[in-house]
A and B are shown apart, each in its own frame.
Chain A
Amino acid sequence: MVDVAALYAALDAKRGGEGLSWRDVAGKLDISPSTFSRMAQGRRPDIDAFATLLRWLGQPAEDFTRSRPRLGKGGSPVAAMVSLHFKAARNVREEDVAAFEEIVQAAARRLERLKSR
């Protein structure tokens, strides 16, 4: 999957170095300016935009892909989540992601503790 944060950081560095605004970059590369605002929120660019951005950066896709979802710091590789049950909405809100990740990590630690008993 695309490591959006790393990609966004690389783009931001190049943009800053060239003294361009995000809108300038979008115009120069002929992609939608909303691509960048969406990326800032953690959304992946579409495949065409991704290819264009890589060309502009002069970097291979491998620099910005990771083979497995990140579990966060100190993540246990065996831990996985089977399900999340919600009261209403079926998505995790962007602002709650870090909290959910932390809780899943804590739960994974608790599970390891229970297993070793």
Chain B
Amino acid sequence: MTSQLVHGFKTLAERTAGSVRDDLGLGPTDRLDSRKLAEYLQVPVVSVKDLKDDGASDVSISRLLSDDAAFSALTVCAGEQRLIVYNPEVASTRQSNSLAHELAHVILEHPPAPVAFESGCRVWNARQEEEADWLAAALLVPREGALKWLASGGTVPTGARHFGVSQALFAWRMNQTGVMYQLKAKRRR
């Protein structure tokens, strides 16, 4: 897929992630708890299972929890207010990443799109989604933190565990931020 990101966004994302982490009192190698970030941003988070009181049927809940639906998280808005609904049955690393992704939309002030499940497809704003993916990853695995982790002998599996993300996400960050390249260059010197 071609990247939809505008020039300069990646730098902005790293900087934004850094300042949000500062606000939470986190150093570069500290793990970010997405729940705490939600609390900090005052965004309530509920499990899809907890929506029974609000009229969600068992059938619909089960359907969203099924593997086939591939559902991780969604955000609903009313004015400026937002609520995140997540799937509690996916891996904790996935939950954390999905929550960070949804919160990244809040941080980036992405305007909400209307609900439209037309023809079985959702409205897909590719740029906003890519921006949220990028910022979420930067929040969870800051470039500086990843660099420090690897420079001090850490590996991708241990780093992923430490930061509470999947190995795939950690490795992706290594590649995208040029951390691997920087380390190799350093070792050659």
Contact = CB atoms under 8 A, between A and B. Distances in A.
A78 B115 CA distance: 10
Nearest to B85: A107
A82 B113 contact: yes
Contact of A87 (B76, B90, B116): B90
Interface stretch (A15-23, A27-35, A40-48): A40-48
A83 B102 contact: yes
Contact of A103 (B60, B116, B121): B60
A84 to B, nearest CB: 5
Nearest to A114: B44
B35 to A, nearest CB: 16
Interface string B88-112: 0010001000100110010000111
Contact of B102 (A80, A85, A101): A85
Contact of A79 (B59, B78, B132): B78
Contacts, number: 163
Contact of A97 (B56, B68, B98, B120): B120
Contacts of A89: 70
Given A76-B78, A79-B76, A91-B121, A104 B46 contact: no
Interface in B50-71: 51, 53-57, 59-61, 63-64, 68-71
B71 A86 contact: yes
Interface residues of A, number: 47
Q: Provide the main secondary structure of the chain B interface.
A: mixed
Interface residues on B, range: 35 or more
A82 B51 contact: no
Interface of B: 44, 46, 48, 51, 53-57, 59-61, 63-64, 68-79, 81-83, 85, 90, 94, 98, 101-102, 105, 110-122, 124, 128-129, 132
Given A42-B119, A99-B59, 15 more contacts: A69-B118, A76-B78, A78-B78, A79-B78, A81-B112, A81-B115, A85-B74, A87-B71, A97-B117, A102-B55, A103-B51, A104-B74, A107-B83, A111-B82, A115-B81
- Pairs of residues from A and B, 4 with the lowest C-beta to C-beta distance, nearest first: A94-B120, A106-B56, A99-B60, A69-B116
Interface of A: 1, 4, 41-44, 68-69, 71, 76, 78-94, 96-115
